[in-house]
Amino acid sequence: MKLILLGSGAVRPDLERWGPSQIVHAGGENLLIDCGRGATMRMVQAGIPIQELRRVFFTHHHFDHNCDFAYLFLSSWTLGRNHPMEIYGPRDTERFCRVLFEELYREDINTRRIQPTYPPRGREYVARDVIEDEWTLEGKDYTVRMVHTIHKPQILDNLAFRIESGGRSVVVAGDNVVCESLMKLAEGCDLLVHECSFPSSRIEEHKWGGFHTPPRLLGRWAKERGVKRLLLKHFCIQKGVAVEPMVEEVRSEFGDEGLIVGRDLMTVEV
Ligand SMILES: [Zn+2]
Ligand SMILES: [Zn+2]
């Protein structure tokens, strides 16, 4: 397996760090998890044929994690995708797709459907809200286990994914506070891909910061739960927030070995 980090940033426009998005290459298939700002362009840069994408997963529906999806879906169709896209995510995933493709872009799709080079099946999709506490998707040579995690309680449903293939494991989380379901999911995994949004001090002093994990606590629990390698992403760089002090916080608990500071288009073999 391998993990390709497409975007290591978050909400703010940043040409070095694009929006949250990653590919897990498992069982010969490219699985896309989240589709933030510029994800489609990053896939093209990474040499991933977007018209072959079959399965897309969303951690949650904050716009920084899904804003490139209409572009991906429609452009992959016009480039020759001839199969329905399967989309898995938390509550409201089905509605998100329905509003985009059956309401907002309905006329657009209708004007293009007569174009003979646009395959008819590429307009189709199958979207599934994962409402079970835990659910596993069986792929050809991989499995994707999904659990709910806590980001904004009572407002946004949120998922994390554990992909296993050939005895190896990658856990991809979205944005979240420290929560038991994720710690259990990530136990002993070969690679955990986790947000590192703000320094602990800022998370503790701002009420909105309570929606993210303090880097020091992340380092601590990842170590305790036997995570072998930890890749940091979703850096919210702005005035007073820089990458290195946050990484240092994680390092002080997790250690240096196996700690990876994410950057766009980085590939990690698992
Ligand atoms: Zn985010
Ligand atoms: Zn979020």
Q: How confident is the model at residue 239 (pLDDT cuts 50, 70, 90)?
A: confident
Q: Nearest ligand, CA of residue 64?
A: 1
Q: How far is the CA of 165 from the centre of ligand 2 (A)?
A: 28
Q: Nearest ligand, CA of residue 60?
A: 2
Render pLDDT for 64-114 as a digit per residue (tens, 0 to 9). 999 999 999 999 999 999 999 999 999 999 999 999 999 999 999 999 988
Structural domain of residue 160, as residue ranges? 2-269
pLDDT of residue 153: 73
Q: How far is the CA of 61 from the centre of ligand 2 (A)?
A: 7
Would the pLDDT of 207 be above 90?
A: no
Render pLDDT for 252-266 as a digit per residue (tens, 0 to 9). 999 999 999 999 999
Strand partners, 27: none
Number of structural domains (the chain) is 1
Minimum mean pLDDT among 114-123, 159-168, 204-213: which range? 204-213
Q: Nearest ligand, CA of residue 36?
A: 1
Q: How far is the CA of 121 from the centre of ligand 1 (A)?
A: 31
Q: How far is the CA of 166 from the centre of ligand 2 (A)?
A: 31
CATH number at residue 131: 3.60.15.10
pLDDT of residue 209: 62
